[in-house]
Amino acid sequence: IRSDDLSLPEPTPEHFRWSLLNHLQYTVGKSPEHASKFDWRMALSHAIRDRAVNPWFNSTRRTWAEDRKRVYYLSMEFLIGRLLEDMTINLGLRDVVAEVLDGFGLSFADIAEGEPDAALGNGGLGRLAACYLESMATVGCPGYGYGLRYEHGLFKQSFDHGRQVETPENWLAEGTPWDFTRTESAYHVGFGGELVEEDGVQRWRPGSQVLAAAHDTPVVGYGGRWANTLRLWSAMPNADLFDLGRFNAGEFAAASEPEALARSLSRVLYPNDTTEGGKQLRLSQEYFLTSASVQDILRRYLAAHDDLSRLPEYVAIQMNDTHPAIAGPELIRLLVDEHGFGFDAAVDVATRVLGYTNHTLLPEALERWTVGLMRQVLPRHLQIIERLDTQFVELQGSRPDPVRLISGDQVNMGDLAFATSHRVNGVSALHSELVRKELFPVHDELHPDRIVNITNGVTPRRWLKLANPELARLITDTVGEGWETDLERLRGLEAHADDPSFLDAFGRAKHRAKEAFAGWVMGEHGLGVPTDALFDVQVKRLHEYKRQLLNILWTIARYQRIKRDPGAGWVPRVKIFGGKAAPSYHTAKDIIRLINDVSQIVNNDPDTRDLLRVVFPPNYGVSMAEKLIPAADLSEQISTAGMEASGTGNMKFALNGALTIGTLDGANVEIREHVGADNFFLFGMTTEEVAARRAEPGHARAAIERSQALRDVLQAIAEGTFSPDEPHRYGGLVDMLWNSDWFLVASDFDSYDAAQTEVDRAYGDSGRWQRMAVLNIARMGYFSSDRSVREYMREIWDIEPAL
Ligand code: 26M
């Protein structure tokens, strides 16, 4: 029997119904009478997964047959969320599935809602990787995502009296229907040990080894014409790690200890979105991902070729930030130690294969490992890095204070990634400029063609078609089919921006999304939200630079103004917050608590509750974003200029017809250029002004003294208005604002306030608001991740689309 003979028949409702019942009976082991919602979801997922297999086989076969170049996207994070509805849509099966389920009295939305998010990422960087995988499959870029199959994804957030509480996430507890476990694709990853000399060459004798086992999930592009693989590694102990002797002697825990240590490599995702430094387990996780992936890449290449010097013609490896930056030394090591390359030839091949994407300029987020830790965990790699460092210093000639890959006792992973890549990219125009000027000026001088910009994008399949079916339908009815894969077609909406009946239809879709969100947040969290109010949303990780503090301070000012003058014709607002703080980030946790404390006071004050509401549903993630973003009227993108590398939530909101209030930061700059300055609420200092202001001593105090509104707000907080049981709870925050304020919350407060006044005016004229919103949607085509991926293919990977 050939694979083609096993092709599935057309996905008619009849066949799909059969397939669903077949899986219910033979995969899940249940009959329809006894099947729970969970059982139905598992059966449905398997029926859908079946449909992914043929596109997947066909794509893989074509890539082999045509001997195509592939890209390998190495990332410690893939924040994919749920897969059932996404796969169903991309395979073109949504209507069939809904019809078949309906026949059993089941609702697709209800069943899909039961799937846990695959929360294998912290935030923007991980979600970007997920959008890029989906776009690579959609545009026909042969490639693989390589990551870790964490047993526990990002922690679950709840609130206890307003304070963040973290509990472990457990997405695998009920098993996942999506992955194919490939026990035959397992690699040994070595750690520690020593360097020994053998026939005059250095050899690495690792002290321990862990097995990396592959789990493959097919990633189907829109239309089902191409599919790639997301390969996630899980750590398995070498069989010999289990000490049967000790076990038999009754030392059960001790016998399992080395085994537990090995498994810890894929046990849990680090919940930071900056580094915390000095963590041996994190470095080991990064090497575990990188080594298994690079071994797999070379194995696949050597299955069809024998000359490794031609590797760059067939292989591109993209490093998602520096987390997999040990890929350079690892590739060099394998070429030199295992394949007989000279050092310089190995460096040349590695550099032409590798690309590095930088996602942040924050100094505390730049990975550095101490030489001591490196020597302990990866002695051979340290030796290679030392040699690269020597060469890099030589390249700088007589430069007085040369940039070093190793400075003092620290290995600088950003400099290492730069030195071993042929392209380095930032993630927005502004950010790439800052990468050039502020982060890597010396590297840039030595390699002026290396730094490029690839502005981030988001997939319109998940972030419009799936998340906002009503708006998607209206768009299709207005501009026709095809915008899903050619997002510039949204431009066709411009012609309708003055058409009252179209604007009305848009207004209805927005209102329905608000009602859907309000229903969900009431059902799930018991929070009441009036749907005729302006939905003003800031959802993202909690970070001082993102300035959720500015938002809540302004909210307090609004509260005070309504109290002073209740009849002034206020536009009713719901201020919606969402996001997690890193468990050890105390200031961020204080800000969460302040927002929750303010919501208690504001929402329970009969003088204001009809005009102002503050809601902070816990545990923001991909699935909450899918419900919330379509419901937003106003998108808060208010970071201190120069600090948000790009942002991608900003794109998702504008694509769904929310207007942005934002600074000239990250991709906001380009969003504003695309949608038009008239359709964007701009405020705040520029990157240059930020630098100048920070240099002024006492800037925070001066700004507060200039602003009566801000002074009143800080006084209320300091008096305990929002923490009556503990008046000094926010003493630390208030003190920071008066005396240091690195993120310039005080300096930008009045400008933000003025922009919010403009928001009120615009929202008061609903025709004007809707027109602005529609122009935003119409002009967001550029921000499709299909465009970003095509740019990577052209400017970094040198890969032709297979479609
Ligand atoms: C590092 C070491 C140890 C533990 C965790 C980390 C770590 C994890 C994630 C460090 C940084 C991480 O992510 C940074 C990030 O998400 N950056 C965001 O990337 C987005 C996609 O390019 C941009 O849109 C955001 O502006 C940027 O903040």
Q: Kindly report, residue by residue over 195-234, the tens digit of the pLDDT.
A: 998 887 788 999 999 999 999 999 999 999 999 999 999 9
- Catalytic (active site) residue 648: yes
- Catalytic (active site) residue 546: yes
Q: Strands 163-167 and 156-160: what pairing? A: antiparallel
Could you tell me if the CB of 645 is within 6 A of ligand 1? yes
The ligand 1 atom nearest the CA atom of 427: 22
Map tokens 């109290």 to a residue. 563
> Nearest residue CA, atom 3 of ligand 1?
275
pLDDT for the residue numbered 475 = 99
Beta strands in 121-245 (DSSP E): 143-148, 156-160, 163-167, 180-191, 194-198, 201-205, 208-220, 227-237
Could you tell me if the CB of 541 is within 6 A of ligand 1? no
Q: Would you give the DSSP letter of residue 192?
A: S
Residue 148: exposed, middle, or buried by beta-carbon count in 10 A (0-12, 13-18, 19+)? Answer: buried
Could you tell me if the CB of 272 is within 6 A of ligand 1? yes
Beta bridge partners of 219: 228
Q: Which tens digit of pLDDT belongs to each residue from 131-148?
A: 999 999 999 999 999 999
356: tokens are 């590095």
The DSSP result for 688-705, as a single string, is: HHHHHHHTSTTHHHHHHH
283: tokens are 């470095």
Residue 113 CA, ligand 1 centroid: distance in Å: 27
pLDDT band for position 244 (50/70/90)?
confident
Could you tell me if the CB of 132 is within 6 A of ligand 1? no
User: Which one is catalytic: 51, 127, 652, 779?
Assistant: 652
> Nearest residue CA, atom 19 of ligand 1?
125
Question: Taking residues 371-395, what's their average pLDDT?
Answer: 98
Residue 123 CA, ligand 1 centroid: distance in Å: 7
264: tokens are 């810890």
Question: Taking residues 172-189, what's their average pLDDT?
Answer: 94
The DSSP result for 580-634, as a single string, is: ---TT-HHHHHHHHHHHHHHHHHHT-TTTTTTEEEE--SS--HHHHHHHGGG-SE
Residue 53: exposed, middle, or buried by beta-carbon count in 10 A (0-12, 13-18, 19+)? Answer: middle
User: Which one is catalytic: 360, 459, 648, 687?
Assistant: 648
Residue 687 CA, ligand 1 centroid: distance in Å: 20
- Catalytic (active site) residue 540: yes
Question: Taking residues 390-406, what's their average pLDDT?
Answer: 97
Question: Taking residues 509-514, what's their average pLDDT?
Answer: 98
pLDDT for the residue numbered 788 = 99
**Mutation pick for ligand 1 pocket among 360, 431, 635 (CB with most ligand atoms within 8 Å):** 360
431: tokens are 């950010």
Q: Which tens digit of pLDDT belongs to each residue from 557-612?
A: 999 999 999 999 999 999 999 999 999 999 999 999 999 999 999 999 999 999 99
* CA separation, residue 309 to residues 334, 349, 398, 614, 740 (Å): 13, 6, 32, 60, 54
Could you tell me if the CB of 123 is within 6 A of ligand 1? yes
Residue 321 CA, ligand 1 centroid: distance in Å: 8
- Catalytic (active site) residue 580: no
> Nearest residue CA, atom 15 of ligand 1?
125
- Catalytic (active site) residue 563: no
Beta bridge partners of 147: 232
Which residues fall within 8 angstroms of residue 779, CB to CB, at 6 or more apart? 490, 491, 494, 674, 675, 676
The whole-angstrom separation of Cα 681 and Cα 772 is: 11
* Single-letter amino acid, residue 774: V
- Provide the whole-model pTM: 0.98
The whole-angstrom separation of Cα 54 and Cα 10 is: 12
Contact assessment for residue 265 and residue 234, using Cβ atoms and an 8 Å cutoff: no
Task: Characterize 628-648 residue by residue with b for buried, 16 or more Cβ atoms within 10 angstroms of its Cβ, and e for exposed.
Answer: bbbbbbbbbbbbbbbbbbbbb
Contact assessment for residue 798 and residue 316, using Cβ atoms and an 8 Å cutoff: yes
pLDDT averaged over every residue in the chain: 97
- Catalytic (active site) residue 188: no
pLDDT for the residue numbered 512 = 98
Could you tell me if the CB of 135 is within 6 A of ligand 1? no
The whole-angstrom separation of Cα 135 and Cα 457 is: 10
Residue 242 CA, ligand 1 centroid: distance in Å: 36
Residue 125 CA, ligand 1 centroid: distance in Å: 5
Domains, the chain, with CATH or none? 326-453 (no CATH), 460-788 (3.40.50.2000)
Residue 356 CA, ligand 1 centroid: distance in Å: 14
130: tokens are 């997920």
